[in-house]
Amino acid sequence: MEPAGTRRLELMVTGMDCPECAGHVRQALEALPGVHEVSVLLSAEKALLTVDPARVDLPALCQAVERAGYQARPPLLQQKTATSLAEQSQRRLTRTLFTLYGLLFGAVLLLIIVGEWLGLLDRLTDRLPWPIGAGLTLLAGAPIFWDVLQAARRGRIISHTLMSLGVLAALFIGQWPTAAVVVFFMHVGKYSERLTSERSRQALKRLAALAPQQARVIREEEEQVIPVEEVAPGEIVVVRPGEAIPVDGEVVAGQATVNQAAITGEALPLEAAPGSRVFAATLVQGGSLRIRATRAGSNTTFARIVALVEEAEAQRAPVQRLADRFSAWFLPVVLAVALLALLLRRDPLAAAAVLVVACSCSLALATPVAMLASIAAAASHGLLIKGGAHLERLAQADVLLIDKTGTLTSGTLQICDVLPLAGMTRQQLLHLAASAERYSEHPLAEAVRQAARDEGVALSDPETFEVLPGRGVRASIEGRLVSVGNASLLPEGQQPAEARNLAAAGKSLLFVSCEGALIGILAASDRLRPEVVEALAQLRALGFQSIELLTGDHEEAAASLAGPLGISYRARLLPEDKIAIVKAYQAQGHCVIMVGDGINDAPALAQADVGVALGVVGTDVALEAAHVALLREDWRLLPALVQIARRTMRVVRLNLVFTLLYNLLGLSLAAWGLLPPIVAAAAQSLPDLGILANSTRLLRQRIKSSPRG
């Protein structure tokens, strides 16, 4: 809940290259009076704030960001939901520049190593006076030195602070070529950080770019093309073959296949016809549609998904906070090592090398780059993970608790047993029962009508129709009085033994009578999702110690479902009972996943370490209720989710170990004088690229598609 009198603001922030930059922006905004909460999202290049509008305004927020050394502006909707042609052109130019820069980096590094070995740098020092060399060095590094001074003025030490001290140390002892090379690699490091951050942003940008910027609407009996945010609810939107649907809405005319991969990750298209619900960013194929808009712009399901993926960065994983704490004391330790190298070895070059080789920014990048890569990749496959904290808990989970109706089952009743009595045939029984239920709105009535349709049984219009509340229906069919309902419609003692057997199996029974005589029994049950058996087998293979069904249904229904699946169950549970069960597992030290439909199970989902809502497309309540949302109803996404989480944590641990060992080795070699400042400067820029290469493997994760049918 937001404090009374406050409002949420969004601010676009550019110029951030690493988590350290995001921290500077956050501190600058938090220092303003009237700012209550700040989340700075490096990947989305934005800040989310809760502010008191009476004490702080937008210009003041922008000025605070600019004083910290970055650029700020209010968001534009089209920049949030789509990538323009200009942005695409700029991205191509950036890739080209990075390629050229990489070639230049390799050439300069080779010249430096060869030049140092042949003594060419000493000759350069002799020929070019120190004041000129030092001046050129300071001029080349001026933008970075300015950032360091600005940070120092605010009492902060940044990663380039140490390298800047190394440059000054080299200049002080007359080694201006060494200082110049260090400045060059400071720029290399800055660009490598920018490359790493930009690479992690690309998945989000590709996701956002799927939403169209314009819509074709019917106004004054003509088609008009307008910006998508100007579409009003209720307007008719025309979508032609090959176009992306720009709004959420209901089809009112036309037929087409719709590829919903942008929302659910499902590769196979769905058939859309009048009455079908469709969503923004999905693609129309093989037909055209007219859609009555219900939501447009930032209110669509797709825009909400993009926003949640962006905001996931604010949910920092415990392992990330550990890395942040390590970074906080890493810089003082480096300063201490450099001072010891200077005092004990009397070697200013060794001290300078220590300052230059330290890679504090790579520590800060080790976790978020991997987390964001996995979250973005998962979103493209229909898995919405709301932050790194939930991803880390998923990797630790060992207990799975499952809701029944709408989760383990499809939530749709179907007739599974037809028992004709009194000389009736199966078709005759279905004909009379479905005709009597023709105008009933009860879910069991629809199941009866569907069973008749499946077997090609024609229905008759009832001459009379009466609903018997809590009991069933009574209708006159072809001159005969037919009743369909529960056992209360039967005379005392007329329930046959077959009915008791079906009820013991957890099925819902409908008794069909004609002129007061029982002529048949229909048994209905909720259908188990077809992929559940395979998914549970995969989860057991992943090491889940306990898998348990939690339901408010009676014992027989729970047992009939849990028994064949080989899982335990608890029946007749209230919402508070489910919460108590989750707490009991947590008290025993288990990490609990709770899977539900995201609406009725919201309290238990919130209590679990990870609450997973299944099949929540278009449902705001469900999207908000859980920590993870599966955007299509496919149980096989759940083991895939756990595998993604565990793979991500392996990458994070590898990033952290690599960074720590790299720094330890570099500092040790530099302190003992075995790593010249020039080589130390080159070495300093490499860990970021290593983390980038390791983490972006997560962007290529593949997830099995759901079964159809």
Up-side HSE of residue 458: CA atoms within 13 Å toward CB?
2
Catalytic residue among 17, 147, 248, 403: 403
Q: How many other C-beta atoms lie within 10 A of the C-beta of residue 467? A: 15
**Distance of alpha carbon 483 from alpha carbon 519, whole angstroms:** 10
3-class secondary structure per residue, 413-479: EEEEEEEECCCCCHHHHHHHHHHHCCCCCCHHHHHHHHHHHHCCCCCCCCCEEEEECCCEEEEEECC
DSSP 173: T
Quick check: 481 and 472 in contact, CB under 8 A? Answer: no
Quick check: 278 and 243 in contact, CB under 8 A? Answer: no
Quick check: 703 and 381 in contact, CB under 8 A? Answer: yes
Distance of CA 54 to the CA centre of its chain: 34
Characterise 254 by phi-psi region: left (phi > 0), alpha (psi -120 to 50), beta (else).
left
In the chain the first and final C-alpha atoms are separated, in Å, by: 42
Residue with tokens 């077997």: 455
H or E element, residue 522: strand 517-528
Q: Which ranges of 141-223 does DSSP label H, i.e. alpha helix? A: 142-153, 159-172, 176-208
Q: How many other C-beta atoms lie within 10 A of the C-beta of residue 504? A: 12
Phi–psi pair at 58, nearest 5 degrees: -60, -45
CA torsion angle for 193, 194, 196, 197 (degrees, to 10)?
Answer: 120
Look up residue 472 and give its amino acid.
G
**Distance of alpha carbon 345 from alpha carbon 457, whole angstroms:** 96
Question: In angstroms, what CA-CA distances link 495 with 8, 179, 187, 512, 646?
Answer: 62, 96, 85, 11, 54
b/e code 372-392 from CB counts within 10 Å (16+ = b): bbbbbbbbbbbbbbbbbbbbb
CA torsion angle for 561, 564, 567, 571 (degrees, to 10)?
Answer: 30
Show the beta-strand stretches assigned E in 363-408: 383-385, 399-403
> Reduced to 3 states, what is the DSSP secondary structure of residue 207?
helix
| Bridging pattern class, strands 71-73 and 222-227 | unpaired
Q: Which two tokens stand for residue 287?
A: 């037909």
**Distance of alpha carbon 637 from alpha carbon 642, whole angstroms:** 9
3-class secondary structure per residue, 533-569: HHHHHHHHHCCCCEEEEECCCCHHHHHHHHHHHCCEE
Q: Is 248 a catalytic residue?
A: no
Phi–psi pair at 500, nearest 5 degrees: -65, -40
Q: Which residues are catalytic?
A: 403
